[in-house]
Amino acid sequence: MKWLIIVLVYLHLSEGLERVILKRGKSIRENMKEKGVLEEFLKKNHVDPALKYHFNEYNVAYEPITNYLNSYYFGEISIGTPPQNFLVVMDSGSSNLWVPSVYCDTAACAKHNRFSPSASSTYSNSGQTYTLYYGAGDLTVMLGYDTVMVQNIVVTNQEFGLSENEPMTPFYYASFDGIMGMAYPSLAVGGTATVMQQMLNQGQLSEPIFSFYFSRFAIGNEATGWCSEGCQAIVDTGTCQLTIPRQYFDTFLQAVGAEEYNGELLVNCNNVQNMPTITFVINGAQFPLPPSAYVANNDGYCTVVVEPTYLASQSGEPLWILGDVFLKEYYSVFDMANNRVGFALSA
């Protein structure tokens, strides 16, 4: 059985393990702070990370980009013949593949690798365009078809988006070029075939299963009762933080002793070891998240890596997003054939 296993440094393909290039980059928050634009952006824009799902009656989500205010992880893929390389976020919360293109001349595109259709002998144009929506603006892409390579997995005639216009914020400050969505096909804007679909259809995978490994609800010992009437959670490698429903957010900050200042949630670095462990109870199993997981220490400057979610789930229940803060603690397996997600404690 072939699985696509993204494990920070390994991709399980064919008969063996091949190294996948995943880099830990400086966060967009850090880049924007260095340039002196973070505080103004936070004041003008509140971006709900749940906007990327865009729930509606048709169960279709218009893809935004990814959460862009903290750490992120991205891998290298290539598109075209000969290959043109791109760093992309491998996002379990979206389904479209897009990269910057030579059709885009904004500052954000100029700073990144751009796909050139004329440089690829296998490229074809669909003539269609669509818009990807996210909290701070819109991203317009043109649809094209070409060969996509993820290590030695080769997908031919893969539909993908070529950006035509990328706003300065946030993309100019991102170290990655684009996004490779890995969620269900029903979430793909325009009904495009996902990379995972094409891998399966072309015999590159025997099962639609992939997993992530990143190295390395109760608060403390008391149950919160927050989800006594039900909650839903999205396991999303494209969201960096742990997101908490707005109605619980202030209580959470009080419980962990965080204070908001200039858009950041500050805590005393000397007190991190005394902060409570957050325990998620999922299907009867407990998944603890220690303070070392949800607090970032940047040279003695400690912040809580969480943010609020304002949108509810499709059923109206409070919505949590278990992003990289959670996933760094647990090996996660996405079994799309059986509609299930599994977790195991990271080694």
Gap between the terminal Cα atoms of the chain: 24
If one counts every other C-beta atom within 10 angstroms of the C-beta of residue 1, the result is: 7
Q: What is the pLDDT of residue 58?
A: 31
- Sign for the CA dihedral angle at 67, 170, 48, 305 comes to positive
For residue 118, what pLDDT is reported?
Answer: 97
SS3 readout for the chain? CCCEEECCCEEEECCEEEECCEEECCCHHHHHHHCCCHHHHHHHCCCCHHHHCCCCCCCCCCCCCCCCCCCCEEEEEEECCCCEEEEEEEECCCCCEEECECCCCCHHHHCCCCECHHHCCCCEEEEEEEEEEECCEEEEEEEEEEEEEECCEEEEEEEEEEEEECCHHHHCCCCCCEEEECCCHHHCHHHCCCHHHHHHHCCCCCCCEEEECCCCCEECCEECCCCCCCCEEEECCCCCCEEEEHHHHHHHHHHHCCEEECCEEEECHHHHHHCCCEEEEECCEEEEECHHHHEEEECCEEEECEEEECCCCCCCCCEEEECHHHHCCEEEEEECCCCEEEEEECC
Q: Is 91 a catalytic residue?
A: yes
Query: Which member of 48, 146, 236, 324 is catalytic?
Result: 236
pLDDT of residue 21: 35
Give the active site residue among 91, 146, 177, 324.
91
Mean pLDDT by 10 residues, the chain (347 residues): 38 31 54 73 65 46 32 79 92 88 94 97 93 71 94 90 88 86 86 89 78 60 77 83 91 92 90 91 84 91 90 80 89 84 81
Tell me the C-alpha to C-alpha distance, in Å, between residue 262 and each of 37, 179, 259, 303. Answer: 12, 29, 10, 12
Domains and their CATH numbers in the chain: 4-211 (2.40.70.10), 218-345 (2.40.70.10)
Q: Does the pTM of the predicted model rise above 0.85?
A: no
Active site residue 236: yes
Cβ count near 26 (within 10 Å): 12
Residue 44's pLDDT is 61
Residue 50, sorted as left (phi over 0), alpha (psi -120 to 50) or beta, turns out to be: alpha
Q: Are 265 and 253 in contact (CB under 8 A)?
A: yes
Token pair in block for residue 57: 């009656």
Predicted pLDDT of residue 25:
52
Residue keyed to tokens 């079994």: 335
Q: What is the residue type of 12?
A: H
Per-residue burial over 197-211, b = 16 or more CB atoms within 10 Å of its CB, e = otherwise = bbbbeeebbeebbbb
